[in-house]
Amino acid sequence: MPAGVKARPRSGNPPGSTVCSGVLRDAFGDEPPVRTAARALSALAAAVVALAPWGCGGRPAPARSLVLITIDTLRADRLGCYGDPDGLTPNLDRLAGEGVLFEDASTAVPITLPSHATLLTGRYPTATGVLDNGTYALPDDDVTLAESLRDAGWDTAAVIAAFPLKRRFGLDQGFRIYDDAIEPPPGRPQPRMRVNFVERDARAVTDRALEVWRALDAGRRFLWVHYFDPHLPYAAPPPFAGRHASPYDDEVAFADAEAGRLLEAIRADDPAAVVVVVADHGEALGDHGELNHGLFLYQSTVHVPMIVRAPGRLPAGRRVTAPVSLADVAPTLWALLGVPAPADVDGADLLPLVGGGPPPERPVYAETYLPRLEYRFSELKMLRRGPIKYIDAPRPELYDLVGDPREADDLSARRSADAAAMADRLRGFLAEAAPDAGARARTALDPETEAKLRSLGYLAAGSAPSGSEERGRDPKDMVDYFRRHGEANVAFMENRFDDGIAILRDLASRAPENFMIHHHIGSALLASGRYAEAEAEFRAVLARAPEFSTDYRLLATAQERQGKLEEAAASYRAEAALVPGSGRPYELLGRMMEAWGRFDAAVAAYREAVAREPSEAEFSRRLLEFRLSRGEAGLAVGELSALVERHSDAPELRIALAGAERRAGRPDDALETLSAALELEPYRADALLAVAAIQLENGRADLAAAAYRRVLALDPGNAEAREGLVRAGTPR
């Protein structure tokens, strides 16, 4: 059997295929080919690749549907097709039987945003620069899978389940529809709360994904669906809660059931749809002392499920054992769909490997900077060569995953020559990394972002270190420190601020280099109303990390609560200078000025917020609401019109302008403005609802009903549209 491909039991031809040549039988069928010279093997692989996509009956019609499903925090060993005996994932197991399962797939980063950045670009974080959640965004010049498909004529959409993948972090590039509205519209079931973090659970994600699927052009369509449910804290809804060995397993079963509901609808609509299912990372669940993910690079968080189904193009039931990476997914799909790939990618096209060829010549690499960014300890890097895994840490580690899959036996001392060779390979790979990648990818972190990420188990991050800094402590020596930090977070979630602050002050003395702990102490003091003490903690952080924009924001809050209005305004402006692409500092400055009765300063700040982020609907709504609250609809029309002229591609601005025009008694102008917004984004339910309301006011019930029906075609559960149809005299 060719390297990296596992033989199936002898049971006839592969499902859904007809063996019609010796080449196909040897590569895809039951009998392993004779191992010959490398040249013969390469020729076999080339022949397989040439024949496999269209078999014996001629080339199939080009694929017209691609569905990418990512399931957050899903351990590979919880799937039945990866060996779990508990029957948690019957739907994913069925999908694996219909396609190709990669037994040894690795994430590039065990953190949500950077892992998805690699998945969608085929580039490692050494190239994208995306190192963590919240403080990085994928740069505009990175080419995503969605962008390349869009340019090839595909209609593209994404449905996102949780905050770390909001459009502000750059993954919306190339998607016509990027549905990251975690909070549902009025009249829809509210999402579950995870402490202070809101997410769409798997049921809501599937409901919305099916609505978006129907809104896509059926000619060629790409849908990415993100599920979040196996993530902490584990809280599956009935009937899944309490049915399995652990709450985590309950969540896995729930995610599988909802992914199965989506897959069933896709199969019925397009049986030949290409479907890919992966996880962004796993979950440690206590392995190696880690409770969740991000701190270490052991298999419990790095090993991920990866399944590709392509009827008529890839064999059913194939299992590939060679190590692969999430960086390989986009290059493989570009090749499978016949779409040109960008020139500068790190991943490899896996079609030759699936066809029996040798593993691709590229490194399987992973890293985590979370220990550095959030604790000022050492970052970690990983390199794979076959079953040999090397972890670059202050005390390096070497494992043979065939004999030691749980990584209990560090071989670095006994096999020092192998460890040195792997270290050399890693240095060679890193020498080619872009030195400014992290700086390009940095973005703003606002207090809402920080609070939501903290509730996920992510802490506020500082800036990326320079190459001249010392590595810092080895994370594996700090397991108890991490545990105690987690206890402090739990105390804060339970409003036991004094207990949590006491823990953090003790940790501050144990690792004084981790100045970021003063950020957490300050945040707790701020939440408990101890504003002067909080101000001192934030100043301590900024003295060490003046580039850390978040603490200027929190410093401003502490100053305002003490009545230091001018100092607070200066702190907001200091943050704005660090993050010129973010409108949030000015939006918050406007709120403060409005609260203190400084209305001219407030409106100027709101205008600046909108100008900086015209696609952020919240900012334009805030400007509109401020003017309307003061009876200044005409002024709102003028300001928003000027902003629309400057940012003509932002439908959010046009929708806000239409609201101002309607309040100013100009309904015809409002309809024209909404029509322009819908030309930019035809799926905007808020624009359609506004059109319907104006038409009802104009006495045009027929036109109002048509708009309401368009909303329901996108969102069948929309209560406002259903009620509107009744008011229009045409109940659905």
H or E element, residue 449: helix 447-455
What Rg, from alpha-carbon coordinates, does the chain have?
27
Q: Tell me: pLDDT of 209 over 80.
A: yes
3-state secondary structure of 279: strand
Can you tell me the mean pLDDT for 194-219?
82
Q: What is the DSSP string of 589-603?
A: HHHHHHHTT-HHHHH
What is the structure's pLDDT at 449?
Answer: 54
- Asked, as a colleague might, if the bond just before 85 is cis with ω within 30 of 0, I would say no
Q: Comparing 717 with 121, which gets the higher pLDDT? A: 121
What is the structure's pLDDT at 647?
Answer: 87
What is the structure's pLDDT at 480?
Answer: 95
What token pair was written down for 349?
């096209």
CA distance 42 to 697: 71
Can you tell me the mean pLDDT for 33-53?
36
Asked if 587 and 448 count as a contact pair (C-beta separation under 8 A), the reply is no
What is the structure's pLDDT at 246?
Answer: 96
Q: Tell me: pLDDT of 50 over 50.
A: no
What is the structure's pLDDT at 34?
Answer: 28
Can you tell me the mean pLDDT for 348-368?
95
User: What DSSP state is assigned to residue 136?
Assistant: B
What token pair was written down for 20?
């019609």
Please tell me the pTM assigned to this model.
0.78
Q: What is the DSSP string of 23-58?
A: HHHHHHSSSPPPP--HHHHHHHHHHHHHHTTT-SS-
H or E element, residue 101: strand 100-102
What is the structure's pLDDT at 400?
Answer: 98
Q: Tell me: pLDDT of 180 over 70.
A: yes
Q: Is 471 exposed, middle or buried (0-12, 13-18, 19+ CB in 10 A)?
A: middle
What is the structure's pLDDT at 5?
Answer: 42
Q: Comparing 449 with 360, which gets the higher pLDDT? A: 360
Q: Under 8 Å CB-to-CB from 173, ≥6 apart: which residues?
A: 138, 140, 142, 144, 146, 147
Q: Under 8 Å CB-to-CB from 546, ≥6 apart: which residues?
A: none
Mean pLDDT (the chain) is 86
Asked if 362 and 346 count as a contact pair (C-beta separation under 8 A), the reply is yes
Q: Tell me: pLDDT of 37 over 80.
A: no
Distances (CA, A) of 209 to 203, 436, 573, 635: 10, 37, 40, 39
Strand partners, 101: 307, 319
**Mind listing the pLDDT tens digit for each residue in 218-248?**
899 999 999 999 998 898 999 999 999 999 9
H or E element, residue 421: helix 416-431
What is the structure's pLDDT at 158?
Answer: 97
CA distance 722 to 732: 7
Q: Tell me: pLDDT of 49 over 60.
A: no
CA distance 229 to 231: 5
Can you tell me the mean pLDDT for 167-194?
70
Can you tell me the mean pLDDT for 592-597?
95
- The band of 434, judged by pLDDT with boundaries at 50, 70 and 90, is confident
What is the structure's pLDDT at 488?
Answer: 92
What is the structure's pLDDT at 729?
Answer: 84
Q: How far apart are the first and last CA of the chain?
A: 60
**Mind listing the pLDDT tens digit for each residue in 688-732?**
999 999 999 999 999 999 999 988 887 777 889 999 989 888 765
